[in-house]
Structure 1
Amino acid sequence: MTEEPKSKKAKEKKGKICVILLRGSVGVNPKIRETLKTLNLNSVNNCIILEDTSSTKGALKVLQGYTTWGEADASLEKDIKASGREKVPYGLHPPRGGLERKGKRNLFSGGGSLGYRGSAINSLVRRML
């Protein structure tokens, strides 16, 4: 029985997830505020890069209406550090060209900016550098 959990862990992806806070935390549910504090996201346009684990995905599900995230490619963290940002969380500028058409209150899958965006997070971060 001990073999199953080990093989299950081995099957999990060990990539990196880039998370950006797009909405402020004034007047939000205390559970959401505590999750933001745990992830060290304390102001708008802050970015962190996390390991892809099940606990991270659970936290991101709670924060779906306030953050956007996706799989970071290998060179993204190097590009962020090369732009002079070394403190975590990385403070980014608002994106050049603006956010998606429906703005900050809709999910990315519906034309907005929030939630899971897959590999499109890389282009967003590069527009924010």
Structure 2
Amino acid sequence: MIAKVVYPRYAVIRLRGIPTTPRDIAATLDLLRLRRKFTMTVVVGSPDVLGMIEKANDWITWGEIDANTLAEVLKRRGRLVGDRPLTLEHLQRWGWRSFEEVALAFVAGEIDRLSCGRKVPAREGQRAPCIPYLKPFFRLHPPRGGLNSLKLHFSVGGDLGYRGPLINDLIRRML
């Protein structure tokens, strides 16, 4: 039996705008679904995704997201196709009991992605392997308290690049 590799889950937030972005970086950000400033996606930290994150490192910030923060993002910023809010009733229709259950399942690696994009057949009595019709990105507000610097990396006092679990504090300031 082959063991399933569980990669860490990362929140990736685009902090820099569109006009001066080189084409190759813009294409990478497009693949990550980060098409506008202050949008966030939650990705699985596989080697190919980490390569894309490293390539766009000067336009984004990223780190490990925890289940509580992800549940709060789903509650407050989750949107369905048609720009409707993600509701508890929608989750329950697909077999999930709460936002926290979805967040824990994703962070623990039980499900591989949050968004399906379309209706996914679920067996009777089982929950869906993701949230159908959920948009694969979250639109956030600019952070309360502002940013330090969009030209420096987090390790030297700026806001760009890898910030580890401290990404959760930034996300809470942006909700």
TM-score per shorter chain, which class? 0.7 to 0.9
- For residue 29 of structure 1, the aligned residue among 6, 14, 22 is 22
Corresponding pairs, count: 120
Q: How far, CA to CA, are the matches of 1:43 and 1:19 in structure 2?
A: 12
Output the amino acid matched with 2:156. Answer: G
Q: How far, CA to CA, are the matches of 1:50 and 1:82 in structure 2?
A: 18
TM-score by length of 2: 0.64
- Tell me if the contact between 2:77 and 2:139 (Cα under 8 Å) persists in the aligned partners: no
Equivalent residue number for residue 16 of structure 1 = 9
Equivalent residue number for residue 111 of structure 1 = 157
Equivalent residue number for residue 71 of structure 1 = 64
Measured after TM superposition, the shift of residue 55 of structure 1 is 0.7
Is 2:85 aligned against 1:92? no
Superposed CA offset, 1:53-90 (max 9, x none): 11111001101100000001122221101114323310
TM-score by length of 1: 0.85
Could you say which structure has the higher helix fraction?
Answer: 1
Equivalent residue number for residue 3 of structure 1 = none
Matched residue SS, 2:34: coil
Task: Indicate the structure (1 or 2) with the bigger Cα radius of gyration.
Answer: 2
Output the amino acid matched with 1:77. Answer: L
Q: Percent identity?
A: 36
Matched residue SS, 2:164: coil
Matched residue SS, 2:41: strand
Equivalent residue number for residue 55 of structure 2 = 62
Q: How far, CA to CA, are the matches of 1:30 and 1:84 in structure 2?
A: 29
Matched residue SS, 1:57: helix
- Spell out structure 1 runs of 4+ moving beyond 3 A: none
Structure 1 vs Structure 2 CA RMSD: 1.8
Superposed CA offset, 1:12-45 (max 9, x none): x522100000001223221101101111111100
Measured after TM superposition, the shift of residue 92 of structure 1 is 0.3
Q: How far, CA to CA, are the matches of 2:77 and 2:140 in structure 1?
A: 11
Output the amino acid matched with 1:44. Answer: K
Matched residue SS, 2:150: helix
- Tell me if the contact between 2:63 and 2:166 (Cα under 8 Å) persists in the aligned partners: yes
Q: Which runs of 5+ in 2 are unaligned?
A: 80-134
